[in-house]
Amino acid sequence: MMKRTFWVAVGVVIGVVAVAKAQAYVKANTPDNARQFLLGPDQDNILQRTLAGLIEDFNTTRKAREAELNAQYSGISK
């Protein structure tokens, strides 16, 4: 179990670093109009917005699955 957790964590870190590096490359090598089209007007907080979106999606999916399992196994529906 610890090996799996370790490798999942390594994969997440590699993914975050790759996205940050790609966005830094785009930010450094594209004109302002193209950059605003790709990254949006708030270009300084892209990493924070991406992580917040991932956490929000995870929590939404987790809550839906918990409700599904509760309804399936306990007969309680929310």
- Residue 75 — left, alpha, or beta (φ > 0 → left; ψ -120 to 50 → alpha)? left
pLDDT on residue 7: 95
* Token reading at 77: 């529906």
Length of the chain: 78
pLDDT on residue 8: 94
76 pLDDT tier (thresholds 50, 70, 90)? low
pLDDT on residue 6: 94
Q: What is the pLDDT of residues 28-70, one digit of tens each?
A: 888 888 777 777 777 777 778 888 888 999 999 999 999 999 8
pLDDT on residue 59: 95
